[in-house]
Amino acid sequence: MTPTIQIIGTRSCRNTRKADRFFRERGIRPHLVDLNERPLSEGELQNICRNLDPENLLDRDSKAYAKAGLEYMVYDPLEEALKNPALLKTPIVRCGKEVSIGLQPELWMSWLQGFEDSFEF
């Protein structure tokens, strides 16, 4: 049995493509949610933030962040991410209740190893 992996990002994002390739090379076909086609709902975003600090959601180095002028503003990261999905740091990778933001192959490998260990007899 293989884990269900969800990758949230855009097809044009280099890091999202790297995450997709990481799992495919290990025989896992992830489900890709392209933010250009379908932005996250408020419930999905809140579910992601159960395991992560909402402050880590936004890519402060992105053009979208600079264009929105958020550097000098006080804002709610969840509200801003809902209004403008381009602000999100990608990829966001989900495996069950586990969530990561950005490229984290070591963490993903530990998820996969933990998943394999739980099914050993």
How many separate domains does the chain show? 1
Q: Round to whole Å and give the CA distance between 110 and 80.
A: 31
Domain span at residue 16? 5-118
Q: Indicate if the pLDDT at residue 108 is higher than 60.
A: yes
Task: Tell me the per-residue pLDDT of 23-66, one tens digit each, with 9 for 90 and over.
Answer: 999 999 999 999 999 999 999 999 999 988 888 999 999 999 99
Helix axes 14-24, 105-118, angle to 10 degrees: 30
Q: Indicate if the pLDDT at residue 97 is higher than 90.
A: no
Q: What is the CATH number of the domain that holds 26?
A: 3.40.30.10
Question: Mean pLDDT across the stretch 86-113?
Answer: 94
